[in-house]
Amino acid sequence: GALRSRVCDFARVLAHFRPVDDDTGTRDPKEPEPPNSRMNKLRFAFQLYDLDRDGKISRHEMLQVLRLMVGVQVTEEQLESITDRTVQEADEDGDGAVSFMEFSKSLEKMDIEQKMSIRILK
């Protein structure tokens, strides 16, 4: 029932954090991308910010998420400054929000595969 559904949802979320295999074999293009692929990790991260699911991260959404992440460690003024700078740097079309493409591009030099990996010790 509801518990099984929650366990499945949790497992689906965790799948995004599975380390990427070192083997560089080619994937059949007809097969769906694995949850831990770079693109799916980026989509997952993007959705954490896109609170209203409209396909854009607004300044307000960015501010809300950053506020939750940093808590009381920084002042509201500092937080707003960080938010404005982050949105401004990523927002290429000047609409005041960050699309998924802009989000992906702003993180292209970051090693998302490594940063979004959790190794479970056995």
Residue 122 domain flag:
no
**Which pLDDT value is given to residue 32?**
77
For residue 20, pLDDT beyond 70? no
Strands (E), the chain: 56-58, 97-99
pLDDT digits (tens, 9 = 90+) for 1-13: 776 666 565 566 6
Residue 27 domain flag:
no
Residue 121 domain flag:
no
Question: Domain total for the chain?
Answer: 1
Residue 68 domain flag:
yes
**Which pLDDT value is given to residue 9?**
59
Burial label, 115 (beta-carbon count in 10 A; 0-12, 13-18, 19+): exposed
Q: How far apart are the first and last CA of the chain?
A: 30
Range of the domain at 58: 2-19+34-115
**Which pLDDT value is given to residue 2?**
72
**Which pLDDT value is given to residue 121?**
58
Residue 92 domain flag:
yes
**Which pLDDT value is given to residue 80?**
94
pLDDT digits (tens, 9 = 90+) for 25-84: 565 667 778 878 888 888 999 999 999 999 999 999 999 998 888 877 789 999 999 999
The CATH number of the domain where 49 resides is what?
1.10.238.10
Q: What is the total residue count of the chain?
A: 122
Residue 29 domain flag:
no
Residue 25 domain flag:
no
For residue 92, pLDDT beyond 80? yes
